[in-house]
Every structure is written in structure tokens, then in C-alpha cells.
Amino acid sequence: MKPRPPQLISARRLKQRIKALGKKISRDYRRRDLVLIGVLKGSFVFLADLVRSLSVPVALDFVQVSSYGASTASSGVIKIKKDVDLPLVGKDVLIVEDIVDYGYTLDYLRRFLKNKKPRSVKICALLDKPSRRKVRVPLAYKGFTVPDKFIIGYGLDYNEKLRALPYIGTL
């Protein structure tokens, strides 16, 4: 049996922080027309737990964006592999992302979604890695700041492996 990768953030801490984020988002978007847009594939576990922590109605949609491939470093070339299906005109959009690293992907995605004429576009990221930031990305909601290591688990992968870890670990 292979050893499990080292734990950086426990499942318990993840649950507590996501609950707190859900309360804040629910307060901020009370009586608003909120659409959560999950960034596939990495955000799906976080998004599922976040949605269950909200006390406001939301619509859900997904985008799939590529910038990593099978590498541990972003190529800087952003591709939309799956666009949103819901109309966003006049809606409040909250992009839900697993991790902000260089910032290229979220900067591109934020501008891309703003072209769909929503009322607002904000970002909720579970993990922030500011030490690698190349592009300034405004995070309205943030779970944890993480060190400059390759992060896996809780939806984040390395070459499509290790997504199912119930905690955040390092490669």
C-alpha cells in the first residue's frame, strides 16, 4: 500500500472554513439572483460542500478551463473547454475555484464572464497561493492561503489522480 501524501489542511478544518464561507456568502447575497459557476474539474468537491452550506437559493453552472494539462505548472495559455449554459444577464455571478496560483485562469475567466453582461462577477477560491501570483485577481471569498507547493486532494489532482483525498495535501 502506498503512503498517503502529507496533510496540509485537515478534512475537519476544511468543513469548518467552508461553513463560515457559506454563512458570509448567504449574508452577502440575501435577496439576490445568485449563480454559482464551478470551475471544472478541481472545484467540484468544494462547490458541492459550499452549496450545502448556503442558506440562499442559487442556480448552478460549470465552466471547464484548461491551462495545466498533465504538468504541475500553468502553461499560461487559457482555453475554454466548456462554456456556461445559463444566461447570466443581470445575475450576480460567483465563480467557485479550487485554487488561485498564477492568476491567469481566473483573470481570463472573470473577463470572459463579464462579457455575458451579469450584474456582478466575484470570485470564491478555496485556496490562495499568492507567492506565485503573476496577475492580480480580486478574491471576494477565500478559504486558506497555502505555500508554494503542488497541492492535491479534495478535488485537486495531479494528472487526474489524488482528487478523492478528503483533505488538502502536498505532492
User: Residue 31 to residues 37, 84, 121: CA-CA distances in angstroms?
Assistant: 18, 23, 16
First to last CA, the chain: 17
User: Residue 160 to residues 87, 128, 157, 168: CA-CA distances in angstroms?
Assistant: 30, 21, 5, 15
User: Residue 116 to residues 21, 37, 59, 85, 131: CA-CA distances in angstroms?
Assistant: 26, 13, 16, 11, 31
Which alpha helices (DSSP H) does 29-122 contain, by range? 44-53, 104-114
How far apart are the C-alpha atoms of 154 and 171, rounded to whole Å? 13
Active-site option among 101, 107, 128, 157: 101
Q: Which three cell numbers stand for residue 9?
A: 489542511
Instruction: Look up 157 and say whether it is catalytic.
Output: no
Residues labelled as active-site residues: 101
